[in-house]
Amino acid sequence: MHSAHNPHDSPDEKQSASNEAHDGGYELAPETSTPSTSHPRKSSSAQTALRPKSAAASVAPDSESDDEDEESADGNGNDEDGDDEASLLPPISRPANPSPWMFAGGIALAVLLVSWLAGAPQLVLPESSPDGVAIIRELSFFERLEGLARTAVALPLATLGGVFGLLVLAFVRQRPVGNVPALFAKVSAIAAFSMLLWLVPSDIRFLKQCLNVIGVPLVGGALAIPIFGLTPRDAFLAATYTLLGMLLLVFLAATVMWAVAG
């Protein structure tokens, strides 16, 4: 430790004191410069400490956007699945060879035609007698020919009505139609077998008429359950639409006949 400088000190003492002061200045320089050099280190460390936060902050929106993309992709996937499920509904008429169905329908039609030619009494509408007993008269030759013509007209009419009913059902249920030739062949066979209901005997005129008119589409609807794979409700709807289609065709035919007859 040095004391205060004395003006009477020798020059050597003054020189040594100045050297000590000069040396002391060099020793204090690092201490004064230490805070200035330490601050950049702290700032650099603060920057490095902030870098992970900014990286995490930048990663968070990316992850959120990825989640949104995944959700939108999932939503689109669900929509596509819904479309696939809608497109996977079974068609009304599955692919099939129409020849067996036409052959089966031809057999039923042949049975009915032979019955008309033979004058089967089951085809005659019963008449009531004064005693209340049902009378079944014999068919004449012209009445048998009339029955043949009636059958030849009723079969295409029932076939077209049945096709109309199934097409309306396919539209309502949003199902594809499927194989159209097989559809016509199956409906024709169903109509031919349903018309065999005319051979069911009945002594009540009203009941016989109901069997001939309403019973045919009802039996057709029942046969459509195993043939077309319909539910009972859809089969009932198809039978109802078939009746409406047949009535529409009869109305159009009557309109044409009226227009032609003038």
Confidence (pLDDT) at 86? 46
Q: Which of 155, 185, 150, 173 is nearest to 234 (CA)?
A: 173
Region for 174 from its dihedrals, namely left if φ exceeds 0, alpha if ψ lies in -120 to 50, beta otherwise: left
Question: In which residue ranges of the chain is pLDDT below 50?
Answer: 1-11, 13-14, 16-65, 71, 73, 77, 79-86
Burial class (CB in 10 A: 0-12, 13-18, 19+), 234: buried
Q: Which of 147, 160, 162 is nearest to 199 (CA)?
A: 147
- The predicted-structure confidence for 22-35, as pLDDT tens digits, reads as follows 444 444 444 444 44
51 secondary structure, DSSP code: H
Confidence (pLDDT) at 177? 92
Per-residue HEC secondary structure of 129-178 comes to: CCCCCEECCCCCHHHHHHHHHHHHHHHHHHHHHHHHHHHHHHHHHCCCCE
Confidence (pLDDT) at 128? 73
Confidence (pLDDT) at 25? 45
Q: Is the pTM of this model over 0.85?
A: no
Residue 128 has φ and ψ, to the nearest 5°, of: -90, 140
Burial 190-202 (b: 16+ CB within 10 A, else e): bbbbbbeebeeeb
- The predicted-structure confidence for 121-173, as pLDDT tens digits, reads as follows 888 888 777 776 777 788 888 989 999 999 999 999 999 999 999 999 999 99
Confidence (pLDDT) at 167? 94
Tokens standing for residue 213: 């008119």
Kind of pairing between the strands at 127-128 and 134-135: antiparallel
What are the Cα distances from residue 99, in Å, to 2, 26, 155, 189, 227?
Answer: 131, 117, 17, 11, 15
Cα separation, 67 vs 61, whole angstroms: 10
Domain boundaries, the chain: 98-261
Per the DSSP assignment, residues forming a β-bridge with 134 are: 128
In order, the DSSP letters of 197-241 are GGGS--S-HHHHHHHHHTHHHHHHHHHHHHHH---HHHHHHHHHH
Confidence (pLDDT) at 107? 95
3-state secondary structure of 96: coil
